[in-house]
């Protein structure tokens, strides 16, 4: 079965009950946390790629749904990436998914190379000549990508792809056999491109607002909404919801939607990532004002929040003042403020005042101890923010340590961000979703 070119379609295959009314529907995908180098964390989720396009791809699992065979591949979650790209070369030099490439004359080729491309001055200019021998000039459309792990440039071959999410959903009246198939254009590349990625992660799942990222390929009844709940623990799974909920995050049927406050997403002229307006950072009723023209970005690649030096200095000064009673420790790179958590030889938990981000509508995103403090060694814990330098492009980049066990809903239908602050305050966490249970 060849994927019809330029057809974007959804197949909702119900084994029976096709008349079932769909009140609300969302797909649920497990999220894994990986420990990177230097204690950094990265997160992945998997999709099922249509197997006949990948007869020999390096994959972890092959699954049949009906007569169709799919292969499971884990992709790095990147809410900033302009399009999805992944390994589909069984060997370094030949592309399994490329019978169906975007050719150099198609508008998508121009789109992906210009408006929706990865931008870096270190990348070579695009050419119509592939680095893979099997193609003649212009048969394919080589496009530059930048590794979110190494920052290095490499080349992908965009193809008309097919993948599916399955076996996991949340909603009313939905049967367990539903498949959700979507036909994005994805970049294909060699497995070696992903060598520095966490093991078995062979691609990038773009969740940005770009028209070539996953949310753009979601169609009725799945709304263009992604809700991300990152786990704080490498040995447990968090959850990614696609669609408008309900977001039952544990077996008590708590709908995370009920825990959300909303802020407008702010458009950025040069990025498909997600930005919000932060007016001030408040620590124990004292405000640190954030300049009007400062931008605040949310990142799934930065492990710790990066603050421009002027803001960083104010935050660290204030935080050290309100934590005077906790014995200090010599600071541990990359952090600037650390505490000794060893009392008479035993590690004790510390409790620090909340850090509140005051957003443009006056809403408050509260960062409590679990998200502000990182236990670095047995007897040292640090304020988990880093100095982004005096001229950093964004005044604030909110890193993942600050929103693990928080529920974030990026709503591209109405350009809002829903945020819960720490779910631990509500006696639940991102790891409480039970993927073996049907929530409906």
Binding site for ligand NAG (CB under 6 A): 104-105, 126-128, 138, 233, 235-236, 244, 258-259, 262, 291, 293, 329, 340, 342-344, 379-380, 411, 414, 416, 425-426
Closer residue to ligand NAG, CB minimum distance, 236 or 287: 236
Q: Strand pairing of 68-78 and 201-206?
A: parallel
Closer residue to ligand NAG, CB minimum distance, 186 or 406: 406
Q: How far is the CB of 345 from ligand NAG (least distance, A)?
A: 8
Q: How far is the CB of 425 from ligand NAG (least distance, A)?
A: 4
DSSP 11-57: -B--SS-TT---S-EEEEEEEEEEE-GGG-EEEEEEEEEEGGG-TT-
3-state helix, strand, coil in the chain (%, to 5): 10, 40, 50
Instruction: Count CB neighbours of 316 within 10 A.
Output: 18
What single DSSP character describes residue 259? G
Q: How far is the CB of 67 from ligand NAG (least distance, A)?
A: 37
Q: How far is the CB of 50 from ligand NAG (least distance, A)?
A: 28
Place of tokens 């210009």: 114
**E-strand stretches of 190-243:** 201-206, 225-229, 237-243
**CB of 357 within 8 A of CB of 287?**
no
Q: How far is the CB of 166 from ligand NAG (least distance, A)?
A: 24
Closer residue to ligand NAG, CB minimum distance, 291 or 390: 291
Nearest 5°: the CA angle 54, 56, 61 is: 80
Closer residue to ligand NAG, CB minimum distance, 82 or 126: 126
Dist CA 85 CA 76 (whole Å) = 10
Q: How far is the CB of 422 from ligand NAG (least distance, A)?
A: 8
**CB of 276 within 8 A of CB of 82?**
no
Q: How far is the CB of 409 from ligand NAG (least distance, A)?
A: 7
**CB of 429 within 8 A of CB of 423?**
yes
Closer residue to ligand NAG, CB minimum distance, 339 or 439: 339
Q: How far is the CB of 287 from ligand NAG (least distance, A)?
A: 18
Closer residue to ligand NAG, CB minimum distance, 66 or 124: 124
Closer residue to ligand NAG, CB minimum distance, 293 or 333: 293
Q: Enter the tokens of residue 439.
A: 């929530």
Closer residue to ligand NAG, CB minimum distance, 2 or 348: 348
Q: How far is CA 58 from CA 193, 263, 410, in A?
A: 13, 41, 32
SS3 label, residue 107 = helix
């Amino acid at each position: 079965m060849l994927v019809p070119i330029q057809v974007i379609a959804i197949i909702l295959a119900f084994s029976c009950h096709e008349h079932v009314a769909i009140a609300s529907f969302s797909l649920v995908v497990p999220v894994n946390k990986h420990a990177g180098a230097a204690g950094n964390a990265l997160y992945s989720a998997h999709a099922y790629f249509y197997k006949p396009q990948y007869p020999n791809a390096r994959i972890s699992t092959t699954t049949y749904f009906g007569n169709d065979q799919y292969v499971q591949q884990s992709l790095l979650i990147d809410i900033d990436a302009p399009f999805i790209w992944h390994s589909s070369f069984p060997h370094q030099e030949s592309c399994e998914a490329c019978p169906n490439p975007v050719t150099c004359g198609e508008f998508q080729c121009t789109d992906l190379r210009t408006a929706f491309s990865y931008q870096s001055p270190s990348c070579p200019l695009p050419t119509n000549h592939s680095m893979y021998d099997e193609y003649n000039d212009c048969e394919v459309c080589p496009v530059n990508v930048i590794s979110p792990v190494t920052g290095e440039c490499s080349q992908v071959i965009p193809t008309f792809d097919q993948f599916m999410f399955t076996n996991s959903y949340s909603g009313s009246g939905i049967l367990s056999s539903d498949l959700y198939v979507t036909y994005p254009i994805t970049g294909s590349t060699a497995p070696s491109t992903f060598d520095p990625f966490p093991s078995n992660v062979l691609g990038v799942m773009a969740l940005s607002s770009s028209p070539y990222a996953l949310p753009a390929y979601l169609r009725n009844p799945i709304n263009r909404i992604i809700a991300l709940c990152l786990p704080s623990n490498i040995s447990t799974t968090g959850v990614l919801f696609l669609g408008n909920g309900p977001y039952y995050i544990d077996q008590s049927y708590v709908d995370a939607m009920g825990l959300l406050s909303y802020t407008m997403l702010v458009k950025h002229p040069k990025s498909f990532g997600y930005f919000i307006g932060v007016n001030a950072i408040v620590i124990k009723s004292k405000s640190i004002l954030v300049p009007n023209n400062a931008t605040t970005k949310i990142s799934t690649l930065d492990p710790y929040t990066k603050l421009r030096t002027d803001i960083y200095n104010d935050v660290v000064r204030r935080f050290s003042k309100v934590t005077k009673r906790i014995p200090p420790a010599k600071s541990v790179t990359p952090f600037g403020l650390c505490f000794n958590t060893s009392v008479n030889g035993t590690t004790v938990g510390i409790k620090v005042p909340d850090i509140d981000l005051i957003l443009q509508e006056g809403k408050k995103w509260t960062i409590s101890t679990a998200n502000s403090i990182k236990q670095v060694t047995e007897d040292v814990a640090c304020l988990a923010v880093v100095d982004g330098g005096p001229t950093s492009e964004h005044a604030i980049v909110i890193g993942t340590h600050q929103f693990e066990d928080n529920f974030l809903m990026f709503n591209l239908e109405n350009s809002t961000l829903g945020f819960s602050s720490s779910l631990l305050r509500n006696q639940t966490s991102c790891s409480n979703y039970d993927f073996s249970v049907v929530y409906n």
